Structure 1
Amino acid sequence: MSARIAVVGEALVDVVPADGGMRDLPGGSPANVAVTLARLGRQAVLMTTLAHDARGALVRGWLHASGVDVVASAPATGRTSSATVALGPDGAASYAFDVTWDPPAAALAEVVAAADVVHVGSIATVLEPGATAVEAALRAARRRALVSFDPNARPAITPDADAARTRVERLVALSDVVKVSAEDLAWYHPGADLLEVARAWAATGPALVVVTLGAEGALAVRGADVVRVLGVPVVVADTIGAGDTFTGALLDALVDLGAVGPGARDVLVSLGADRIAEAARWAARAAAVTVSRPGADPPTRAELGA
Structure 2
Amino acid sequence: MTSPVPPVLVIGECVADIVRSDGVPDRVHPGGSPANVAYGLARLGRPAVLLTELGRDANGRLIRSHLESAGVLVRAAEVARTPSAVVRLDGEGRARYTFDIGWTLPPTELAEAPAAIHLGSIGAVTEPGAAAVLALVERWRGRTPVSYDPNVRPALMGERAAAVRRVERCVALSDLVKASDEDLAWLYPGERPEAVAERWLSLGPSVVAVTLGAGGAFARTAEGGRAQAPAVPVPVADTVGAGDSFMAALLDARASGADLPTCLTHAVTAAALTVARPGANPPSAAELAAALTDGREARTGAV
Shorter-chain TM-score above 0.5? yes
Contact 1:9-1:121 within 8 A present in 2 as well: yes
Match runs of 1:108-119 below 5 Å: 109-110=109-110, 114-119=113-118
Amino acid at match of 1:15: I
Aligned twin of 1:276:
260
* Structure-2 separation of matches of 1:3 and 1:218: 29
Q: What per-residue deviation string (whole Å, max 9, x for no partner) do you get for residues 253-301 of structure 1?
A: 01101xxxxxxxxxxxxx8xxx100011001111100000000000000
Aligned twin of 1:253:
253
Match of 2:59 among 55, 73, 82: 55
1:190 deviates by 0.4
Amino acid at match of 2:232: V
Q: What per-residue deviation string (whole Å, max 9, x for no partner) do you get for residues 145-184 of structure 1?
A: 1100001111111131111100110110110000000000
1:17 deviates by 1.9
When the two structures are aligned, how many residues end up with a matched partner?
285
* Structure-1 separation of matches of 2:238 and 2:24: 16
Q: What per-residue deviation string (whole Å, max 9, x for no partner) do you get for residues 219-273 of structure 1?
A: 101021221111111111000000000000000001101xxxxxxxxxxxxx8xx
Contact 1:214-1:231 within 8 A present in 2 as well: yes
Contact 1:3-1:42 within 8 A present in 2 as well: no
Contact 2:105-2:130 within 8 A present in 1 as well: no
Match runs of 1:1-306 below 5 Å: 2-17=5-20, 20-75=24-79, 78-106=80-108, 109-110=109-110, 114-223=113-222, 224-257=224-257, 275-306=259-290
* Structure-1 separation of matches of 2:98 and 2:237: 20
Return 187-196 or 152-161, whichever deviates more. 152-161
**SS of residue in 2 equivalent to 1:156:** helix
* Structure-2 separation of matches of 1:304 and 1:182: 24
- TM-score of the superposition, structure 1-length normalised? 0.90
5+ residue gaps, structure 1: 258-270
Contact 2:38-2:49 within 8 A present in 1 as well: yes
* Structure-2 separation of matches of 1:153 and 1:162: 13
**SS of residue in 2 equivalent to 1:152:** coil
* Structure-2 separation of matches of 1:253 and 1:141: 22
* Structure-1 separation of matches of 2:170 and 2:189: 19
1:46 deviates by 0.3
Amino acid at match of 1:98: D
* Structure-2 separation of matches of 1:225 and 1:89: 38
* Structure-2 separation of matches of 1:130 and 1:159: 16
5+ residue gaps, structure 2: 291-303
Contact 1:178-1:206 within 8 A present in 2 as well: yes
* Structure-2 separation of matches of 1:20 and 1:301: 32
1:196 deviates by 0.7
* Structure-1 separation of matches of 2:71 and 2:101: 24
* Structure-2 separation of matches of 1:192 and 1:134: 29
Contact 1:116-1:144 within 8 A present in 2 as well: no
Contact 1:232-1:285 within 8 A present in 2 as well: yes
* Structure-2 separation of matches of 1:138 and 1:97: 26
Amino acid at match of 1:151: P
1:104 deviates by 1.9
1:89 deviates by 1.7
* Structure-1 separation of matches of 2:210 and 2:24: 35
* Structure-2 separation of matches of 1:62 and 1:4: 18
* Structure-2 separation of matches of 1:2 and 1:237: 35
1:203 deviates by 1.1
* Structure-2 separation of matches of 1:254 and 1:290: 20
* Structure-2 separation of matches of 1:102 and 1:247: 24
* Structure-1 separation of matches of 2:274 and 2:13: 20
Q: What per-residue deviation string (whole Å, max 9, x for no partner) do you get for residues 13-35 of structure 1?
A: 00002662312111100000000
* Structure-1 separation of matches of 2:94 and 2:207: 26
Return 244-253 or 220-229, whichever deviates more. 220-229
**SS of residue in 1 equivalent to 2:110:** helix
